[in-house]
Each structure stands twice: as structure tokens, then as C-alpha cells.
């Protein structure tokens, strides 16, 4: 009999894990309180398919992103597009590290780039720049892709009220499954590391020009990145995109749901000012369109960890989601844990090695005496 598995959350992690388990013959159901896939954090972000250049201060995140980038392109070749001009720039004064250190970290991580002359017509006050090959997620196409392939197992407008352990299974909304997978970015709890819930405000802009993607690194800086529409870009800022940091999901949701026009105007002004320090022509090139709101779940700490973790609590797996391209790591960890649980050996009374140790002069197998000395 195939395993019956309930997945809570129809974002990138829930949909990919569901599709992978389904392809292995497992009976999967995916629950989401929204009316479509990728409605919350998975669909409200910068849509960057990372290689790891954004995370100079965390080795694990770089490694997962580097490997996941290649695997994502192999597994989902039609769900992302190349960003023709993708620049990472290290500012002279506001970066937490110098340009040579940044380059050394990326080279030692196996990440390829081309060094560019600093500045040019677009950027000012930068110590150095690199050009890299990263991609943009085609979110509308991804929604349609997973919506079609998982159409028989997606359960929209269905909040999961309770997960209860029952012997060799779990009850999810009263129905029995062999396992449950929480892919809600920690919004149901169960994470074994301290986290904060961070409501965010992402700004959208329109332009008639072909502007490169620009990411200023490393530290409390900002970035401009294209979307699936070549004329629409996002503006994100480490200090100004967050609306707060909360210990509970409920408090973060309450903050997100009370954003005012005055707050948006203040955030917009702060973010445009910050970007204009190194891209003085920003306001001339871009026209403000609107916002997107989301909630990010992040580990507590200043080391910039965005790697993926999977925890098991009985028959429930809790995924601490990382970047989009670490979906493969999560799937492999879950499969490994299921395999380990199913192949647990029975308990033995004690080691039996004494039975295989021959005393001096005792006959070995076949009746031949063993001489010692």
C-alpha cells in the first residue's frame, strides 16, 4: 500500500514535495487556505533564482543555492528565464566587506562571475562589480504548471485546523494519513531553532528602458530586480522592506494587514533614497506602480542564514524553508527520514561479538584448531 501523505501549504515547497512524492507512487493531498498556489510568501517576493551571490555571510546558504540553481533548471526548465544583465556591486562605504573579500568568498564557493569596471554610467560610489548568471522565476507560469499537474490533489480554501498523532499515523482535519508535512514556512510552529516572523513590503516599478538587475552587497543594502514582465522591476531593501520583527505568526499577520498609505509613502521615499545613493538615475528611470505584502520566516541571528532545514516530530515533518531552489534538499531529507523510520531495526539484548572470538586452541569452523603465540 502506498503511503498517504498530507501536505499543508501550496507554495513552492508544498507543491514540489507533493509532485515528487506523487511521482514515487505515494498518495498525496495538499491543503491551502488560499484559493490558488503560491498565494502568500512563495508568490510575493523578488522571484530571483539564486546562485548564492547574495549570501556572502553564510556558507550553507551559498552551497544549497549553488547546487539548487542547477537542479532547478534541470527539473523545471520552463519556469524561469535568464536575466541578461545581472550585477552585484560592493559600495565603497556602506558594505560590511570589501570587494576583494567578497570575490574571494565567491571564488572559494565555486561560483563563477566576470569582474566589471566599477561604476560606469549606471552606478556610482562602488568599489567593485561582478556580472553573474542568475534567473527570474516565471511565477504565473509556475502557478499554472503546478495547478495542472496537481489538480486532483490540491485542496484550496481548506485551512488545516489540527494535526493529531494516532498510533502509526496522523489525523489532519479528522482524516488519517501515514505522514504530514508542514510546508507553511513555520507558521504552525514546530521549528527547533529560534525564528522571527517578518512582514515585508515589496515595491514595484515600471520602466521603458532595459535596466540591469542591480544588487548591492553585503549588508543593510538594497536591490532592483526584474520580474517575468521585462518592463516591471521590484525594489527591495534590507532595512526598509521589513515592517517589523515578531515572535509569533499571528503578530506578523496583524502588522501586515494594517499597512496604511502613509506607511507605504514613507517606505517608498526611504527605499528610493537608499537606491539613489549608488544609482542616482533611479527615479528618472522608474515609475512607481504599487506594492506586495508578504511574511518571511527567518532564523534569529546576524549571519544571514537562509538555508533549508527539515525537522521530524513523530509522523509530522516541519520544513524550515530556505530559498526557492532549496526545494530539492527538503524533499531528499523527508524521503531519507521516511526510509529511516520504515527500516528501523528491532532492539537486541546486547552485542554478540563474543560469539565470534575464538579462545586459544579452540577449533574454528571446520574443526581446525587455532594456535596463538
State residue 348's pLDDT score: 58
State residue 343's pLDDT score: 74
Provide the whole-model pTM. 0.86
Instruction: Work out the number of other CB atoms within 10 angstroms of the CB of residue 100.
Output: 11
Predicted confidence band of residue 304 (pLDDT cuts 50, 70, 90)? low
Rounded to whole angstroms, the Cα distance separating 177 from 168 reads 9
Q: Is residue 373 part of a domain?
A: no
Rounded to whole angstroms, the Cα distance separating 252 from 201 reads 12
State residue 195's pLDDT score: 86
How many domains does the chain fold into?
1
Write out the chain in H/E/C secondary structure.
CCCEEEEECCCHHHHHHHHHHHHCCCEEEEECCCCCCCCCHHHCCCCEECCCCCCCCCHHHHHHHHHHHHHHHHHCCCCEEECCCEEEEEECCCCCCCHHHHHHHHHHCCCCCEEECCCCCCCCCEEEEEECCCEEECHHHHHHHHHHHCCCCEECCCCCCCEEEECCEEEECCEEECEEEECCCCCCCCCCCCEEEEEEEEEEEECCCCCCEEEECCCCCEEEEECCCCCEEEEEECCCCECCCECCHHHHHHHHCCCCHHHHHHHHHHHHHHHHHHCCCHHHHCEEEEEEEEEEEEECCCCCCCCCEEEEECCEEEEECCCHHHHHHHHHHHHHHHHHHHCCCCCCCCCCHHHHCCCCCCECCCCCECCCC
For residue 367, pLDDT beyond 80: no
What is the pLDDT averaged over residues 329-338?
90
Q: What are phi and psi of 256, to 5 degrees?
A: -60, -40
For residue 305, pLDDT beyond 70: no
What is the pLDDT averaged over residues 121-135?
95
Q: Is residue 18 part of a domain?
A: yes
Q: Is residue 330 part of a domain?
A: yes
Rounded to whole angstroms, the Cα distance separating 146 from 187 reads 22
State residue 41's pLDDT score: 82
Q: Is residue 98 part of a domain?
A: no
Q: Can you give the residue range of the structural domain that contains 188?
A: 1-79+134-192+306-345
Q: Is residue 166 part of a domain?
A: yes
Give me the CATH number covering residue 158. 3.50.50.60
The model's pLDDT over 183-200, given as tens digits with 9 standing for 90+, comes to: 997 788 777 778 889 999
State residue 370's pLDDT score: 53
For residue 372, pLDDT beyond 60: no
Among the ranges given (167-171, 256-260, 316-320, 340-344), the one the predictor scored with the smallest mean pLDDT: 340-344
Rounded to whole angstroms, the Cα distance separating 76 from 21 reads 16
The model's pLDDT over 189-244, given as tens digits with 9 standing for 90+, comes to: 777 778 889 999 999 999 999 999 999 999 999 999 999 999 999 999 999 999 99
Q: Is residue 257 part of a domain?
A: no
State residue 327's pLDDT score: 87
For residue 345, pLDDT beyond 60: no
Q: Is residue 268 part of a domain?
A: no
Phi-psi region of 221 (alpha: psi -120 to 50; beta: other; left: phi over 0): beta
State residue 207's pLDDT score: 97
Predicted confidence band of residue 32 (pLDDT cuts 50, 70, 90)? very high
Q: Is residue 92 part of a domain?
A: no
Rounded to whole angstroms, the Cα distance separating 109 from 101 reads 12
Amino acid at each position: 500500500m502506498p503511503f498517504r501523505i498530507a501536505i499543508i501549504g501550496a507554495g513552492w515547497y508544498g507543491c514540489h514535495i507533493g509532485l515528487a512524492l506523487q511521482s514515487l507512487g505515494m498518495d498525496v493531498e495538499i491543503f491551502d487556505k488560499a484559493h490558488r498556489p503560491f498565494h502568500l510568501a512563495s508568490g510575493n517576493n523578488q522571484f530571483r533564482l539564486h546562485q548564492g551571490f547574495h549570501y556572502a555571510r553564510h556558507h550553507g546558504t551559498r552551497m544549497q543555492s549553488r547546487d539548487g540553481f542547477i537542479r532547478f533548471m534541470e527539473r523545471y526548465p520552463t519556469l524561469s528565464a535568464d536575466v541578461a544583465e545581472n550585477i552585484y556591486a560592493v559600495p565603497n562605504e556602506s558594505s560590511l566587506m570589501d570587494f576583494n573579500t567578497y570575490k574571494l568568498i565567491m571564488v572559494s564557493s565555486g561560483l563563477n562571475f566576470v569582474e566589471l569596471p566599477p561604476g560606469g554610467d549606471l552606478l556610482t560610489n562602488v568599489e567593485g562589480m561582478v556580472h553573474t548568471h542568475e534567473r527570474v522565476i516565471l511565477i504565473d507560469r509556475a502557478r499554472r504548471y503546478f495547478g495542472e499537474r496537481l489538480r486532483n490533489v490540491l485542496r484550496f480554501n481548506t485551512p488545516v485546523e489540527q494535526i493529531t498523532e494516532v498510533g502509526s499515523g496522523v489525523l489532519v482535519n479528522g482524516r488519517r494519513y501515514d505522514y504530514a508535512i508542514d510546508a507553511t514556512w513555520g507558521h504552525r510552529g514546530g521549528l527547533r531553532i529560534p525564528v522571527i516572523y517578518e512582514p515585508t513590503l515589496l515595491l514595484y516599478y515600471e520602466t521603458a528602458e532595459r535596466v540591469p538587475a542591480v544588487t548591492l552587497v553585503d549588508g543593510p543594502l538594497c536591490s532592483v530586480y526584474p520580474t517575468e514582465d521585462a518592463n516591471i522591476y521590484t525594489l527591495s531593501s534590507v532595512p526598509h522592506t521589513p515592517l517589523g520583527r515578531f515572535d509569533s505568526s499571528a503578530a506578523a499577520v496583524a502588522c501586515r494587514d494594517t499597512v496604511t498609505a502613509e506607511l507605504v509613502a514613507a517606505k517608498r521615499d526611504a527605499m528610493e533614497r537608499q537606491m539613489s545613493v549608488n544609482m542616482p538615475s533611479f527615479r528618472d528611470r522608474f515609475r512607481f506602480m504599487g506594492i506586495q505584502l508578504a511574511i518571511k520566516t527567518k532564523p534569529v541571528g546576524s549571519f544571514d542564514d537562509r538555508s533549508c532545514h527539515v525537522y521530524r516530530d513523530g509522523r509530522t515533518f516541519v520544513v524550515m524553508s530556505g530559498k526557492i531552489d532549496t526545494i530539492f534538499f527538503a524533499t531528499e531529507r523527508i524521503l531519507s527520514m521516511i526510509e529511516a523510520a520504515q527500516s528501523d531495526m528491532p532492539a537486541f539484548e546486547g552485542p554478540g561479538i563474543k560469539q565470534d572470538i575464538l579462545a586459544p586452541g579452540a577449533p574454528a569452523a571446520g574443526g581446525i584448531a587455532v594456535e596463538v603465540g
